[in-house]
Amino acid sequence: MEWLVSNLTLDEKLSLMVHRNPAIERVGLPAYSWWNEALHGVGRAGEATVYPMPIALAATFNPELVQSIFGQIAREARHKYHLAQDTGYFGDYAGLTFFTPNINIFRDPRWGRGMETYGEDPYLTAMMGLACVEGLQGGHSAACLKHFAVHSGPEGIRHEFNSVVSERDLRTTYLPAFEYIIKNSDVQQVMCGYNRLNGEPCCTNRRLFDILRHEWQYDGILVTDCWALNDAYETDTVIPRHRTHATAALAYGDAFGREVDLECGSGLPALRDAVQQGLVPESKVNEHVRRILRTRLRVTDEPRLINESMESPLDKPQPCTQSMVLLKNNGVLPLKENENLRLEGPNVWDSLMPLGNYNGTPRHTVTIGEALSRYQILSAGDGKTLVYAGGLNPQLEGEELPVEKEGFYKGDRTRIELPREQVAEIKAFKEQGYHIVLVLCSGSAIALENVIDDCDAVLVAWYGGQDMGTAVRQLLFGERDDFGRLPVTFYRSTDQLPDFDDYNMQRRTYRYLDNGDALFPFGFGYSYSFFSIKEPWLSEADFTVGGTASLCNTDAPQAGSHRTVIQVYLQNPNDTEAPAKQLIGTASLYLTEENHLVPFTIELDPFWFRQFNPATGLLEEPADGTPFTLQIGFSSDDRDLQDFQFIYHNRK
């Protein structure tokens, strides 16, 4: 690599610092584009397997499954990369450097891009994000943590929006997932966001740069969000922008003269001007180019494996039942094999809805209607059970969408209740005497208080990928009993939420919401089986908790195994401003028969015990002997948890 750096001209080096690298044939570098997507499958590059959206993957509470999925995505990506190379295509969406995962905290259910995240909790986000990174990079691709930092809407003003955040919220909510993954992996890229943070654009933000490079010692690539630097200097009136810099050269000087290595955008002329004006010294250019070449050569110089030339696994079915959450069941589920069903709702036959956003094109998509009609004799109205597939779709919520209608604005939502017309339909069907099974499709939490009593069962199916319909059928008929758990709070109504553009965490998410205020709490989810924890124990010296889980009884005997998720929460009585509780450990357990006892052990990382010190503005290890309360159970609701006293012992 040093030979390459020393043999490149300054102009050639600069050409490598924007995402579309031209060929430099005299040193053996072909053209390459850094921009590719793999949010839940290889995106925007033709045929590809489409898995559930990340918010649905978060509902699995299963990092091992997520790592396996992204390992499969990486293998499919390398197959597509070699096909593109063979045909001489070197443009966007053909490389092995991916702008994923999105590990922003889903702090407000109105944010349209929340479907791209792993939910509202820092620990769960860190575990799932780490699994994504390890899956992708274990498959010889490069992952990218985004958006650094403090980014979660509003979409309509993101190019001018200033996220005002306290030091406590910054350190305890918005940064821990980034820090944890950087310190526990070799993640190759971090992407800075569109927004400002406390007055300064993220892609020129000295404070963020200092935390990333000096506090955390991150030495990978820092890449801008696409065309984000334009927001710092452009003055057009069509899109409101930050306008913090008088010229493009000054903006690029602040970015590349500090810590940004690579721009996703078209700012090469501005970068040249910044170098010519002495705002970016050549020594800094060399530093950036070394990082860029190190990652690029790492993924593109990997030898082509034999199985990478074989047929892509596009035709393999991918139902993911663990991603779907059962919120209510008064006994109508599981459905019976010979049961007459009536299908209604806007999402029954929709083949685009399951694909979410940032998706590829699957060879097949199984809709909810297709999956249910394939195995049932559907009722024209004489059946007593009605499956209503409702909720939202990715044309209403998503990234900066041109949508302005009741309840929706520019990709975000202005109210979180189920659309009024769907509420009216459900109530009308209930009056006709139907048992209603609501299959809720969305990328975010929906307030159901005004319709929950009309539904006999509620299954949150999110945007469940190309085989979403198959997964819905398997769960509704009790063929599987491995439901997921909520990665976000389901609030009662929009009125519970603070202002959307207020980034203060008070009254947001289960961590700061008064216990009992949620309609369905974080971590909650039913199954067809009932579980208990027997003889729980903890070891303060080893930072572990454990016990024995038991399957008490089940309503789905035909399912091969029955799954539950054990959750461990931390309460900090030493800090009156700390969250009411926060997740610090989980375990997925599978039990096969009633009275089957399965021992479990959950290791707790001291990283998640750190306390905010107002004097230093940092998270610090507790003093030896600091008391905490640990809670273990099946959701964040206190009624599902058992308490233990834990005395922290310094491990140094």
Q: 317-504 is classed in which CATH architecture? A: 3-Layer(aba) Sandwich (3.40)
- What's the mean pLDDT in 515-529? 93
In this model, does residue 616 exceed pLDDT 70?
yes
pLDDT tens readout for residues 203-223: 999 999 999 999 999 999 999
pLDDT value of position 620: 97
In this model, does residue 345 exceed pLDDT 50?
yes
Q: How confident is the model at residue 631 (pLDDT cuts 50, 70, 90)?
A: very high
Percent of the chain with pLDDT over 70: 96
pLDDT tens readout for residues 554-589: 998 888 889 999 999 999 999 999 999 999 999 999
- What's the mean pLDDT in 91-110? 98
Q: Where in the chain is the domain with CATH 3.40.50.1700?
A: 317-504
Q: Where in the chain is the domain with CATH 2.60.40.10?
A: 529-647
At the fourth CATH level, which superfamily is domain 1-30+144-301?
Answer: Glycoside hydrolase, family 3, N-terminal domain (3.20.20.300)
| Higher-scoring residue by pLDDT: 382, 530 | 530
In this model, does residue 315 exceed pLDDT 60?
no
Spatial CA neighbour of 280 closest among 12, 1, 14, 2: 14
Q: How confident is the model at residue 307 (pLDDT cuts 50, 70, 90)?
A: low
pLDDT tens readout for residues 47-68: 999 999 999 999 999 999 999 9
Q: Where in the chain is the domain with CATH 3.20.20.300?
A: 1-30+144-301
**What 3-state class would DSSP assign to 238?**
coil
In this model, does residue 243 exceed pLDDT 90?
yes
In this model, does residue 317 exceed pLDDT 60?
no
Q: How confident is the model at residue 338 (pLDDT cuts 50, 70, 90)?
A: confident
Spatial CA neighbour of 459 closest among 434, 494, 425, 484: 484
| Higher-scoring residue by pLDDT: 245, 651 | 245
pLDDT value of position 305: 66
0.85 exceeded by pTM: yes
**Distance separating alpha carbons of residues 464 and 169, to the nearest angstrom:** 32
pLDDT tens readout for residues 400-437: 999 999 999 999 999 999 999 999 999 999 999 999 99
**Distance separating alpha carbons of residues 177 and 196, to the nearest angstrom:** 19
pLDDT value of position 596: 78
Q: 529-647 is classed in which CATH architecture? A: Sandwich (2.60)
Percent of the chain with pLDDT over 90: 91
In this model, does residue 187 exceed pLDDT 80?
yes
**What 3-state class would DSSP assign to 434?**
coil
**Does residue 456 contact residue 435 with C-beta atoms inside 8 Å?**
yes
| Higher-scoring residue by pLDDT: 457, 304 | 457
In this model, does residue 256 exceed pLDDT 80?
yes
pLDDT value of position 310: 45
Instruction: Give how far the C-alpha of residue 200 lies from the chain's centroid of Cα atoms, to the nearest Å.
Output: 25
- What's the mean pLDDT in 459-471? 97
**Distance separating alpha carbons of residues 322 and 563, to the nearest angstrom:** 9
- State the average pLDDT for the chain: 95
pLDDT value of position 71: 96
Instruction: Give how far the C-alpha of residue 60 lies from the chain's centroid of Cα atoms, to the nearest Å.
Output: 12
**Distance separating alpha carbons of residues 39 and 147, to the nearest angstrom:** 13
**Does residue 115 contact residue 48 with C-beta atoms inside 8 Å?**
no
pLDDT tens readout for residues 422-432: 999 999 999 99
The one-character DSSP state at 640 is G
CA distances from 102 to 193, 260, 344, 622, 644 (A): 11, 19, 34, 30, 34
Q: Where are the beta strands (DSSP E) in 206-259?
A: 221-224
In this model, does residue 192 exceed pLDDT 50?
yes
pLDDT value of position 570: 98
pLDDT value of position 188: 98
pLDDT value of position 60: 98
Spatial CA neighbour of 636 closest among 36, 259, 124, 32: 124
In this model, does residue 130 exceed pLDDT 70?
yes
**Distance separating alpha carbons of residues 102 and 39, to the nearest angstrom:** 8
pLDDT value of position 401: 97
pLDDT value of position 248: 98
